[in-house]
Chains A and B, each alone.
Chain A
């Protein structure tokens, strides 16, 4: 009768030893977890209980099916094989324990017998093989391919942990197969074929089918046990803790719109000065990080040679959480201001993180402290001071905001005075920048051609505050929002339309009073898409350009608007070709997060230039279409500095529509 010979060849003392070791392991593991929980509780409170159903859904999608991890084929398959393999082996061990120590001892029966046992053996053998294949893929990748994002871990940060995980797992599985093989070689059960791997190992070891193999068997069994228990015990003390922290993080993560930032906790207070100022959710983020490095791969700042790496930031923070009073301060010693100011708040790191950490939130919280201390370069200070005083970052009078409208004989409706259907919020760049005035006027032509009932706020419009908030000046953001909400409250409109994704992001996600009573905030491309689809706007020409579209960070990654602009481009009769890095993977132009106000510093290659090269590499691409005024500025500059001004033209989507009218 097929049955599991659980302690074949194992002397009594070893059996006892195993239980003692198990007990110790559980104790150490528990203590490790408690230690972590205690750290979490030292952070600030954060509310995390709403939308339970959706949470479970997200948990299944990303913690169980690991969809984000699987976005990249090779590492996805590798991890899933290791994960599911180990899960099955764990389940197998649990079943075996219940079978031997519970049902046999207390209920006098075993269930791992006959057919079930054979299936059990087969499944475990196969999944164990998955683990080995996965580990092989991992080792090959880590040690032979050596991708950039796994290299250059900050020194002193226990880089040996990565190897530890691989080799320990390998040790456990290999020793497990050896034990099985040795047993099969000696015992020769008739059902050995149901353990294909063990059987194969047994055949390979038949030469050892003699009394000495029993000693070897015991030795390897002890090694296997020690390794397994050691592994479990070490779990809360190494990056293996992500097994607990990552699913937990995915389960309790926020459900606020992606584009919204969490407000500063201490009422527009100083942000994070010491690590205890992080919320416990943020601490969990840091602990869930597995150093996969995908965030670093996608970070435009890192790619251009700036000192920021989101991966290194998380690693350094994690180490800092565990340091014991050796006098290193968070700001300055662990994290530098230069690092923090390099971020352009594009959200690529957050979007790609398989454990759903919020690196951007941490950076903004740290920036909030820098702002209070005044550790910013003078140009940022000037921009912020201008925003506070004049409501725009250019330092120009608020009365000059509508100067671009002067050429129009038919005046644009004043939304402060009359009701309008669409309130058009331009944003600073579209209003004040001399080079963009034509674009704003083109937008008027397009709106009028569609018979749109729209108006603007003229002098009453102020910067919506998106970038001030991402710079970390929460108080300034709140002040701007208050003023804007007051202005908007007096207006009569059905929806807000904006040509600026930054403005779009904050009005849509961070202005509760605006969107509260069912009013929509639309980006111009969304509105154009609707107008074209409903026939109110009819392009009369087919432009026939070969166009590639750059997804603005605040339209794409922050708000998920990818298709509307593409439909609009195609409706103008252009041929759309995609750059390799498109949609969620689009590379930020480098202007967000206040970076457009900052000194550039020494960069290897500006993100905007990298993007231009990407566009130019597309065969026959004539136009780079954008949907953000800052992109227009950044890419026009980049075309000049890369010398491709003849090869490619930058056009806003609205300009293409106007041309096609």
Chain B
């Protein structure tokens, strides 16, 4: 078993996902203890450009037409022989719609242990994972064999995993990838929203606490008075009260605003992980034990229906006409 740490880079349609950089940062923290190299693994077709900002010591690519787009059958088929051959200390994948599909299959196929929902890794080989909706943290020690780890964002910033220098890229042989049982038929674009919330500096977020579609107007008024945009957590979008383009969360957009005002949002991990890069989070929720207060800078437990009109009034008064 080598002491190198592999990071399977997640990318979709030519763009490297933020989680990949987070994983590289975690891998770096781990190699400080294991003393190996951080190796970025790129699967796809013509992946050169994707390696540009990866903070890895070196990069391995497996290129094959069947890997051009992610499918959950091709990736494990390509990765399994690579892992078997190199026997790295650990393999990082994202706890996402890409990585989570692959990691467990590899774990069973290769008989390797798997640690999921990992938030942080220490040089002493301690892994901290989030379970029970973020209410409980579980610490495990990296097993003595090649271990698969799926990571969630929040423990490291994506900047920590980026570098100006692209790592040296070498290619690994692609195994036979015929007779794949899962094929991609097409992509469905997300609804062309009027705004791209991931670029907005001021976000007013509504969650289940907004209670019904009619009340969203209150948030819209507040947003207008502050010069911001309304976005939402999953329950609101599931109900159809706001389009998916406004969804902030694991299945939605990652945002990095200056201000994230969370109204009636409990702070489930799937939502919180997408706003971890916000400069300031202010949360309003009548439940003092809501997990959102753990990530917010300021909080209030008053009723949002009492607060919002007051805030809107003041914000309007503050804005020059």
Contacts and interface: CB of A to CB of B under 8 A. Distances in A.
Contact of B239 (A378, A434, A600, A640): A378
Given A378-B239, A434-B286, A600 B214 contact: yes
Interface in B272-311: 286, 303, 305-306, 309
Contacts of A434: 286
B212 interface: yes
Given A378-B239, A435-B303, A599 B286 contact: no
B140 to A, nearest CB: 29
A637 B212 CA distance: 15
A598 to B, nearest CB: 9
Contact of A600 (B212, B286, B303, B306): B212
Contacts of B196: none
A599 B303 contact: no
B124 interface: no
Interface residues of B, number: 9
Nearest to B215: A600
Contacts of B286: 434
B213 interface: yes
Interface in B206-230: 212-214
Contacts of A378: 239
Nearest to A435: B303
B242 to A, nearest CB: 15
A379 B305 CA distance: 19
Contacts of B212: 379, 599-600
A321 B213 CA distance: 38
Contacts of B214: 599-600
Nearest to B303: A435
A362 to B, nearest CB: 28
B257 to A, nearest CB: 29
A213 B212 CA distance: 76
Contacts of B309: 640
A568 B159 CA distance: 68
Contacts of B306: 640
Contacts of A435: 303
Interface in A349-391: 378-379
Interface string A633-660: 0000100100000000000000000000
A599 B212 CA distance: 6
A529 B214 CA distance: 41
Nearest to B301: A434
B237 to A, nearest CB: 13
Nearest to B214: A600
Contacts of A379: 212
Contacts of B239: 378
A637 B218 CA distance: 14
A640 B306 CA distance: 9
A6 B268 CA distance: 92
Interface in A406-439: 434-435
Given A378-B239, A600-B214, A640-B306, 5 more contacts: A379-B212, A434-B286, A435-B303, A640-B305, A640-B309
13 contacts: A378-B239, A379-B212, A434-B286, A435-B303, A599-B212, A599-B213, A599-B214, A600-B212, A600-B214, A637-B305, A640-B305, A640-B306, A640-B309
| Interface pairs A-B: 7 shortest CB-CB | A599-B212, A434-B286, A600-B214, A600-B212, A378-B239, A599-B213, A435-B303
